[in-house]
Amino acid sequence: MTGLLVLMLAASGVPSPLYRVYQEEFGFSSGVMTTVFGVYALALLASLLVVGGLSDHVGRRPVLVGAFVLEAASMALFLFSDGVGWLLAARVVQGLATGALTSTLGAALLDLQHRDRPLAAFINSASPSLGLSIGAVGAGLFVQFVPSPTEWVFGFLTAVCLVAAAGIYLLPESSPRAPGALASLRPRVHVPPENRLAFVVALPIVAACWSIGGLYAALGPSLVAEVFGIENHLVGGLLILALNGTGIIGSLAMRTSRPERALLVGALVFAVGVAGTVGALFTTWAPLLFASSVLSGFGFGASFLGAIATITAGVAPHHRAGLMASVFVVGYLGFSLPSVAAGIAVDTFGLLRTAEVYGVVVVLVALVAVAGILRARRRLVRRTAADETAVQEVLAA
């Protein structure tokens, strides 16, 4: 399941270094480019809201098979695209597939984890960083060194997604069926009462972290080229790696810490890192941009690990997919809406000024999140301690 999650996220990260290629080929503005990026996230959100909890009722396997077939269809649309309309269609279909896969794969990992080795929170938090990094850097390498890169990239991914769908069909089901499948399709965000405190506390830092991820995915390669004067397509992919790749390190470094401590430390490091990014934009100094991106990525990984572990502590099996969908709704709202607004603002205020203001706002949100975590920390500690005690009692029995 971990490999499938990374595959899905790698596919979602592949278009980022290719946006500038398509922009040069089809001749559209930065606003149109971020709209192409944004419709993906909005379609993904719609999918999360509608089918995010479906696998709690019909089982994980049928949702995963259908979603990977849909993912393959989106890769084929990219493969044959010859204009903005095709790109929009491809991203909408990919968003629908990714939304279904995100919540269902996350819930499947919770199903399959051992009680004495609860790794699902770590995998769910580290996989986005790993997958997006592989997708962005891989696509950057193809753009820089391979003729006709889009045909190679999307042809390969179409085939791989179809193979993944066939492989999932042969796997055993990890979740029993339950009544209420039709009712679960009603769009909603469901957070069980016992998980709501952690959800509200973690919400601001999840939104802040994912909003930086959205900025890098939508405009990162353009920043490298236009603000820092580096035209190499691979470097744009490496900037995304600097953020997302070190997210894995942040998750690894804090995986044995208490969830609320990982949440707090990650939020503080993230705020410092984004402040450094703002400084790099003011000075147009590329080494500082990459160094601060590494720091931001570490904070992203650590805080998202803490958020997932804190929010999902003690969640009942029949609420797992719905709760994971709710977490990722917050993440992808932060991933999409601010970056689309930034793309529109670029046409009026310029890329540099827009990115500077964007970074300052994200730092302020991160600091608000730190204050909220500190205020609720004692209650979170008591809650996670109670959950750990319950798990030990089950193991002892």
Report if residue 181 sits inside a domain: no
In b/e form, how buried is each residue of 110-127, taking b as 16+ CB within 10 angstroms? bbebeeeeeebbbbbbbb
Amino acid, single-letter form, for residue 137: V
Range of the domain at 23: 2-172+191-396
Report the distance separating Cα 262 and Cα 273, nearest Å.
16
Report if residue 180 sits inside a domain: no
Nearest Cα to 73, choosing from 3, 4, 157? Answer: 157
**Mean of pLDDT over the chain:** 82
Q: Which residue has the higher pLDDT, 127 or 305?
A: 305
Report if residue 352 sits inside a domain: yes
Number of domains in the chain: 1
Residue 22 pLDDT level (bands cut at 50, 70, 90): confident
pLDDT in tens, 264-318: 999 999 999 999 999 999 999 999 999 999 999 999 999 988 898 888 877 777 7
Helix (H, G, I), strand (E, B) or coil at 27: coil
| Cβ neighbours, 10 Å, residue 283 | 10
Is the separation of the CB atoms in 184 and 91 below 8 Å?
A: no
First to last CA, the chain: 29
Report if residue 94 sits inside a domain: yes
Both tokens of 223, joined, read: 């920043």
Amino acid, single-letter form, for residue 186: R
Beta bridge partners of 117: 114
Q: What pLDDT is stored for residue 19 in this prediction?
A: 74
Element at 225 (helix H, strand E): helix 196-226
Helices H / strands E in the chain, number of each: 15, 0
Report if residue 178 sits inside a domain: no
pLDDT in tens, 347-357: 889 989 999 99
Q: What pLDDT is stored for residue 222 in this prediction?
A: 83
Residue 132 pLDDT > 80, yes or no? no
Q: What pLDDT is stored for residue 124 in this prediction?
A: 59
Q: What pLDDT is stored for residue 321 in this prediction?
A: 67
Report the distance separating Cα 179 and Cα 148, nearest Å.
49
Give the distance, in angstroms, between the CA of residue 380 and the centroid of all CA atoms in the same chain.
24
Helix (H, G, I), strand (E, B) or coil at 339: helix
Residue 337 pLDDT level (bands cut at 50, 70, 90): confident
274-280 long-range contacts, Cβ below 8 Å, gap at least 24? 274/212, 274/359, 274/362, 274/363, 274/366, 275/359, 275/363, 277/212, 277/359, 278/356, 278/359, 278/360, 278/363
**How many CA within 13 A on the CB side of residue 198?**
31
In b/e form, how buried is each residue of 240-252, taking b as 16+ CB within 10 angstroms? bbbbbbbbbbbbe
Measured in degrees and rounded to the nearest 5, phi and psi for residue 184 equal: -70, -15
For residue 344, give the CATH number of its domain: 1.20.1250.20
| Cβ neighbours, 10 Å, residue 67 | 28
Both tokens of 128, joined, read: 């986005």
Strand locations in 164-256, DSSP E? none
Q: Which residue has the higher pLDDT, 223 or 174?
A: 223
Q: What pLDDT is stored for residue 10 in this prediction?
A: 80
Report if residue 177 sits inside a domain: no
Residue 392 pLDDT level (bands cut at 50, 70, 90): very low
Report if residue 153 sits inside a domain: yes
Residue 224 pLDDT > 80, yes or no? yes
State the DSSP string of 116-155: TB--HHHHHHHHHHHHHHHHHHHHHHHHHHSSSHHHHHHH
Is the separation of the CB atoms in 198 and 262 below 8 Å?
A: no
pLDDT in tens, 106-120: 777 777 765 545 555
- Least confident range of 149-158, 190-199, 200-209: 190-199
Query: What would the mean pLDDT of 154-162 be, rounded to a whole number?
Result: 91
Q: Residue 392: which residues within 8 A CB-CB, separation 6 or more?
A: none
Nearest Cα to 341, choosing from 358, 328, 318, 364? Answer: 358
Q: What pLDDT is stored for residue 363 in this prediction?
A: 96
- Least confident range of 24-33, 145-154, 163-172, 290-299: 24-33
Element at 358 (helix H, strand E): helix 351-396
Element at 84 (helix H, strand E): helix 84-112
Is the separation of the CB atoms in 323 and 221 below 8 Å?
A: no
Report if residue 185 sits inside a domain: no
